[in-house]
Amino acid sequence: MKLALAKQLTGIALASAFSVSVANAAMIDVTVSGPGVAEAEAAETDFLAFLKDTTTETFEGFTAATGSADQTTTINTSVGDFTQLQPGGDYPSEACNDGGFSCAGGLAILNSDTSPFSGRYPMPADADNQNWLDSMDSQQMQFSLASMYTAVGFYLTDPNDVGGIMNILFADQTEGTLDLGAVFDPSLASGSAFYVGIMSDVAISSLTFYTNDENDGFGIDNVTVGTVPEPGTLALLGLGLVGLGVMKRRKSSDTAC
């Protein structure tokens, strides 16, 4: 598979070396904005310009959680289901156990008025945008897309200290792995905002986030799913910085963090 080198989107292009085990393998393009509200918002605008038939979940239609009674293992949304696969925060003093919340209680829709976290917030920066979905320090969280979409984009807040991986499962049962530790620099200030965009010429089934720290998490907002208009679009983009950890392979029976 040949990747042309061209810069078309704002941010860092991460489509790098692939390990492919099928004859007609998918081409995948992953971009991550630079840190900061302005760069993240610009990246979202650029990413959406390439897509059609988009649906965006802003989480504004949900009532924000005020404690553990409002947490749940799975949150069903217009773009798909978000599920806590493994909780984190074993220690009672952790922030996800503050303010009536529980690290083991599942995911939560939060806003700034009720959040136990100081570094996570709604994106984009808009007065009408108040809510986001919080991982509540889950060690494993999965986003299963609602339909056969070939593109997904979203904001992440405070992800720089996750230090884990994001696994991308495709409809053809191949999968890709993005090394989050290589993308989100731990030296960045807490509370940084990023926009992540993923495009493929094969439908994306799910994204699974694995963290290496049980007392760490992130916020996710404005999740958009859609389709790449033409298969050739990815070939024209061909974005790539070698060595940043995206590997494509056949799905195995289990994935280790």
Report residue 105 as tokens: 């209680």
**Residue 54: its pLDDT value, please?**
95
Q: Mean per-residue pLDDT for 99-125? A: 92
Name residues whose C-beta falls within 8 Å of residue 49's C-beta, 6 or more positions apart in sequence: none
| Angular region, 104: left φ>0, alpha ψ -120 to 50, beta rest | alpha
DSSP state for residue 231 in the 8-state scheme: T
**Cis peptide before 35, with omega less than 30 degrees from 0?**
no
What are the pLDDT digits (tens) for 41-70?
Answer: 999 999 998 898 999 999 999 999 999 999
Phi, then psi, of 238 in degrees rounded to 5: 50, 40
Return d(Cα 39, Cα 247) in angstroms, integer. 26
Q: What confidence category does residue 188 fall into, taking pLDDT thresholds of 50, 70 and 90?
A: low
pTM of the model: 0.84
> Is 64 within 8 Å of 113 (Cβ atoms)?
yes
Q: Is the pLDDT of residue 233 over 60?
A: no
Return d(Cα 158, Cα 119) in angstroms, integer. 6
**Residue 189: its pLDDT value, please?**
65
Return d(Cα 199, Cα 35) in angstroms, integer. 21
**Residue 208: its pLDDT value, please?**
95
Q: What confidence category does residue 16 fall into, taking pLDDT thresholds of 50, 70 and 90?
A: very low
What are the pLDDT digits (tens) for 164-181?
Answer: 788 899 998 888 888 777
- The mean pLDDT of the chain is 79
